[in-house]
Amino acid sequence: MKFDKFHLSDDLLRNLNDNGFFRTTDIQFKAIPSIMKGEDVLAIAQTGTGKTAAFAIPIIDGIHSSKSSKRVLGIKCLVMVPTRELAQQIGEVFNSFAKHTKVKAFAVFGGIEVDSQIHKLQDGIDILIATPGRMFELIRKGFISLDRVETLVLDEADRMLDMGFVDDVEAVKRKLTRRHQTLFFSATINPEIKKLAYSQVRSNAIRIQISPEDPVSKNVTHSVMFIEMDDKRFFLNEYLSQNSGGKFIIFVRTRVRAERVAKAMARVTYQTLTLHGDKDQLDRTEVMNAFRSGACKILIATDLSARGIDIPDVTHVINYDLPEKAENYIHRIGRTGRGFNKGIAVSFCSQEEKPLLDEIQKLLPKAIDVIPISKSAYKIIATPPPEVGLATSLRQMLDSDDNYDKRSKRKKK
């Protein structure tokens, strides 16, 4: 369906066209009418299906239509997100959609100097996108008031309602003195969090689920390879060499692991970027800009980047380490296959990680495909002799030499 069927303002439609938004995705088609009616919405949809636009478009249109000038009378909409990168990204989406309208949007988040954010807030904004820490700091200092908020959005709602953020959400709800609309958007949500979400909305809230049976987008082909922990760097080297034209996000468990893997790849001449919580916000922004632009095509990241980051041309996701939380598997592999693009996700699973794989499998309606590796192929990749090199096709090494075991037995005899 085309966006003009929603009777959006001409200015907003022009912005959507300029940004390549011509037809709705399923979540946009189902969510936009309910949001425009002022209904509370709990929306669960696969990663990469356009959830941000599903709430940004009707919110901008509603505020734009209600204003007679660009004058700002207070924050009308608050969008709460769990990470700085997501706040920055959603702020960019809102500003690109609001460019020719009467709506002003701004994102506040920690890790950067606060004075510039205060200056922007003093100019007046209609829509605030915020991480909880920086937002409460600015509320305490008197630079943010929520008494005019009419719409509250929780993006990555399952993360915002878990034990780390639920107190912040409830504190915000207490500050919203006006009757307001509440919108929850997420790719995954468990029964406990769903129950908590419904306690935060009106009893007639609209529940929207897109493809709930399989949380993995049909655009993503995902599989697992069983590789011992100490051998993963060899298989990563091999996989990168066989997909040299790709753009990769490689997920690891910890900040230390990210730097170690980066050093291992540097030894075999791969240029990589790392993204994790030990980096300051300026470094994190520079890393994301370099990866987004294609200046470097290999990003090694912790789960800091598992949720919400939208870089459409990521071709491959590699789970170098399986995630500690099973639902993060869905968010990780959702960094590829976004929009109408196709993507590939591969997980390296060691013996000690098999319980984590079992937990991931419980979230999925069918078994994850296993890429078999013969003993000979494994030996070649994990301890490559100088004369073999890494140019041999991975698939050839996996499929060839079926008689390796037989030859080995004959040599022993």
Looking at residue 390, its pLDDT comes to 46
Looking at residue 158, its pLDDT comes to 85
Question: In angstroms, how far is CA 31 from the centroid of its own chain?
Answer: 20
| CA atoms of 93 and 96, how far apart (whole Å) | 5
Looking at residue 198, its pLDDT comes to 80
46-60, 164-178, 253-267, 354-368: which range is least confident on average? 164-178
pLDDT at 49 over 80: yes
| CA atoms of 330 and 364, how far apart (whole Å) | 9
Average pLDDT over residues 226-231: 96
Q: What are phi and psi of 52, to 5 degrees?
A: -60, -45
Confidence of residue 190 (pLDDT cuts 50, 70, 90): confident
Two structure tokens written together for 275 = 């993204």
pLDDT at 274 over 60: yes
Looking at residue 212, its pLDDT comes to 63
The answer as to CATH 3.40.50.300 being correct for domain 220-371 is: yes
Looking at residue 394, its pLDDT comes to 53
Contact 307, 165 (CB under 8 A): no
Confidence of residue 413 (pLDDT cuts 50, 70, 90): very low
Q: Which CATH number fits domain 3-209: 3.40.50.300, 3.40.50.150, 3.10.350.10, 3.60.20.10?
A: 3.40.50.300
| CA atoms of 290 and 273, how far apart (whole Å) | 9
pLDDT at 322 over 50: yes
Confidence of residue 111 (pLDDT cuts 50, 70, 90): confident
Q: Are strands 220-226 and 248-251 parallel, antiparallel or unpaired?
A: unpaired
Looking at residue 68, its pLDDT comes to 87
Average pLDDT over residues 26-55: 92
What would the pLDDT profile of 122-138 be if each residue is shown by its tens digit? 999 999 999 999 999 99
Q: Regarding predicted confidence, which is higher, 188 or 39? A: 39
| CA atoms of 399 and 377, how far apart (whole Å) | 8
Q: Please provide the DSSP assignment of 142-211 as one string.
A: TS---TT--EEEEETHHHHTSTTTHHHHHHHHHH--S--EEEEEES---HHHHHHHHHTS-TT-EEEESS
Question: In angstroms, how far is CA 127 from the centroid of its own chain?
Answer: 22
Q: Are strands 343-349 and 369-370 parallel, antiparallel or unpaired?
A: unpaired
279 SS3 class: coil
Looking at residue 162, its pLDDT comes to 78
pLDDT at 404 over 50: no
Neighbours of 315 (CB within 10 A): 17
What would the pLDDT profile of 359-402 be if each residue is shown by its tens digit? 999 999 999 999 999 999 999 999 865 544 444 455 555 544 44
| CA atoms of 366 and 354, how far apart (whole Å) | 17
Q: Regarding predicted confidence, which is higher, 156 or 297? A: 297
Q: How many residues does the chain have?
A: 413
Looking at residue 308, its pLDDT comes to 62
**What percent of the chain is modeled with pLDDT above 90?**
66
Q: Regarding predicted confidence, which is higher, 29 or 406? A: 29
Average pLDDT over residues 197-222: 83
Relative orientation angle of helices 51-66 and 26-36, to the nearest 10 degrees = 30
Amino acid at 273: L
Contact 119, 318 (CB under 8 A): no
Question: How distant, in Å, are the alpha carbons of 42, 79, 130 from that of 57?
Answer: 17, 13, 18
Contact 101, 9 (CB under 8 A): yes
Two structure tokens written together for 68 = 């007679």
**pTM exceeds 0.75 for this model:** yes
Average pLDDT over residues 32-49: 91
Q: Which helix (H) or strand (E) holds 127?
A: strand 127-130
User: Which residues does residue 382 pair with via DSSP β-bridges, in sequence order?
Assistant: none
Contact 252, 321 (CB under 8 A): yes
Amino acid at 294: G
Question: How distant, in Å, are the alpha carbons of 64, 98, 259, 341 from that of 127?
Answer: 11, 10, 37, 30
Please list the residue range(s) of the chain that carry CATH number 3.40.50.300: 3-209, 220-371
Looking at residue 104, its pLDDT comes to 97
Neighbours of 281 (CB within 10 A): 15
Relative orientation angle of helices 51-66 and 84-97, to the nearest 10 degrees = 50
Q: What are phi and psi of 208, to 5 degrees?
A: -125, 120
What is the chain's mean pLDDT, rounded? Answer: 89
